[in-house]
Amino acid sequence: MMETFYEKYGGEETISKVVDYFYDLVLADHTVNDFFKNTDMEKQRKHQTKFISYALGGPNQYTDQSMAKVHAGTNLQPNHFDAIVMHLRAALTHFGVSEGDIADALNKVESLRDDILYK
């Protein structure tokens, strides 16, 4: 049986570190940080860790709304989405994830583009 991305890189503990680093990058980026100005970032980081853990083959702890509902009213544009993807790539690279696994992870994120943009 093949090991999932989640298992390969250390499970939720590692995903949590990636998410923390990712949000440090996002919050430092004027292109996207305004989207989080009224966000409880501790709650957001925990929520995102569960979502990413699930998306990368971990246990299903994610029980929230659809991507379209979560992003309703944000009017995210392609440049915002691309910035988020860039920061996720940087965070995954920082924690030693292989290029092949990064490509797989970003393909999963890319599959959500239409559910997130222009809402």
CATH number reported for the structural domain that contains residue 28 in this entry: 1.10.490.10
pLDDT category, 1, cuts 50, 70, 90? Answer: low
User: Does 96 fall in a domain?
Assistant: yes
Tell me, yes or no, whether 37 lies in a domain: yes
Which residues have C-beta within 8 Å of that of residue 87, sequence separation ≥ 6? 22, 25, 26, 29, 32
In the prediction, which pLDDT does 43 show?
Answer: 94
Structural domain includes residue 4:
no
pLDDT surpassing 90 at residue 56 = no
SS3 5: helix
In the chain, the number of structural domains is: 1
- Give the span between the Cα atoms of 15 and 6, in whole angstroms: 8
Residues 118, 29, 12: CA angle, nearest 5 degrees = 85
Scored b (16 or more CB within 10 A) or e, 32-53 reads: beeeeeeeeeeeebebbbbbbb
pLDDT (mean) for 53-70: 74
pTM of the model: 0.88
Measured distance CA(49)–CA(15) in Å, rounded: 6
Question: Per-residue pLDDT tens for 79-113?
Answer: 999 999 999 999 999 999 999 989 988 998 898 89
| Residue 100 belongs to a domain | yes
> Residue 98's domain spans which residues?
9-116
CA angle 69, 106, 4 (to 5 degrees): 100
**3 inside domain:** no
Asked whether residue 77 is assigned to any structural domain, the reply reads: yes
